Amino acid sequence: MNQETPKHVRQISKCIIKPHKISEESKQPTYLTPWDLSLVNLNYIQKGLLFRKPSPSFQDPNPTITFIDQLKHSLSMTLTHFYPLSGRMVTKKQDNPPFYGIYVDSSNDSVGAEFIHAAVDITMMDILTPTDVPLIVQSFFALDGAICHDGHTEPLLVVQVTELLDGIFVGCTFNHVVGDGTSYWKFFHAFAEITRNLRKAGIHDGSISRPPITKRWFMENDIDPALISLPFSHHKEFIEDRYERPLLRERMFHFTEESLAKLKAIANEECSTKNVQISSFQALCALVWRSITRTRHFNSDRITSCRLPIDDRLRLNPPLSGNYFGNCVQSVSGTTTVGELVQHGNGWAALLLHEAIKEHTDEKIRGLREEWMKKPRINQTRPIFDPANVMMGSSPRFDAYGCDFGLGTAVAARCGFNNKFDGKVTSHRGLTGIGSVLLEVCLPPESMSALESDEEFMGAVSPHEIHWQHLPCV
């Protein structure tokens, strides 16, 4: 894309989409759990997929318009299952006795999710071929910079469909208080499933293969969910000032299954600890952590951490269903000094991450929850933005490329600029199938240039051409 003549995304239409059917369950308030409430300072989740544009035919000379109309209809049916996304956040407060609680209200018939149809005069190759993720991708998502607390007045879900000259980008802006990454992709898969079936048959009853469990889980199985009282009287007491975004470069780095297997083998050889098996992803995270830290040139005694999101669903005893719709994720971290990290190899760093993950047990999860209930708190983002840290986000386990809207396999997965900062690394399943990984790395320009010159890191990375050469018919 010619940087001298930048293109702009233009909005064609905008409308509100409401659930196709109103269930009795949706008329009840959705009380938020400690996992949910701790996230009100975070930005919305912004993720989406790029598809090839459908070709005109004699039967359908305007297939893109047809597709967009089908998306609106299928979104309405999807919201029947994922009804919290059609609501708004509400704060209930009183002075005597003091009470301050936040919940989601989906009962108001005047609210819903927002649907935007937009267009831009660029091609898929304009997205895929540049070294850095083009800035225009940020315009493929709505509510840029919004935090979850804004869900009191803003939609909890905005779907933006952006037409390219030869492609279609389906992007969602999804309030993180309503659900985590697992929940996001459960919704996206259901949305795709209904759309695909609608396109095949022309009609659809709105059923999905894996209905979500929308009732919030509070650990106490013998009592009904209740509205949690927070130790505040006004949102200014816990909402941070919006941070000024630094100048960042965003670049996609791809790692094949073979490359990751080598990293895993080296890490396990260096680790040489009995009864410990470093995973491919742990080895990759260790490489990223050490490589990024080398680019920053901090003093050797500076503390550095690598934080990993971890799904609590299967770590609980008994485990929580994978269909649970809400937040059930926390983060664990490996921490050391810059000097120690750089001096040792990837196996040593991977072991720090492995031990942090191993220690995140059912007992640990329940203990953290009990501590939170004794002293409720809202996460502050300043510690996350420490320029000495690396924060891994999302997961290659999410089957993004399995979301089939009836347009074939997605060409690419991309994120918006929300929740981006120096050292944020977002992981996706790779382009060469299960076992490969695609990372989106955010760094200041000078750090990114240094990373691109790091022989150890770049030696594990696929050639940049894989982002389009591996995709047939592009």
Find the catalytic residue in 73, 149, 176, 428. 176
C-alpha count within 13 angstroms, C-beta hemisphere, residue 413: 27
Give the residue from 292, 305, 359, 302 showing the smallest Cα distance to 334: 305
Q: How far is CA 408 from CA 163, 388, 398, 403, 412, in A?
A: 16, 41, 18, 9, 12
Give the residue from 204, 195, 226, 229 showing the smallest Cα distance to 95: 229
Catalytic, 404? Answer: yes
> How far from chain centre, in Å, is Cα 26?
25
From CA 7, how far away is CA 314, in angstroms rounded?
45
DSSP 144: T
Whether residue 256 contacts residue 460, with contact meaning beta carbons closer than 8 Å, is answered with: no
- How many other CB atoms are there within 10 angstroms of residue 237's CB atom? 11
SS3 297: coil
Residues forming beta bridges with residue 15, ordered by sequence position = 115
Give the residue from 25, 6, 8, 157 showing the smallest Cα distance to 86: 157
User: Alpha helices of 13-92 — where are they, by DSSP H?
Assistant: 34-37, 63-81
374: Cβ contacts below 8 Å, ≥ 6 apart: none
From CA 69, how far away is CA 376, in angstroms rounded?
44
Per the structure block, which two tokens stand in for 181?
Answer: 């990454």
Catalytic, 176? Answer: yes
SS3 455: helix
Give the residue from 153, 195, 179, 201 showing the smallest Cα distance to 44: 179
Find the catalytic residue in 404, 454, 464, 470. 404
Whether residue 168 contacts residue 162, with contact meaning beta carbons closer than 8 Å, is answered with: yes
- Enzyme catalytic residues: 176, 404
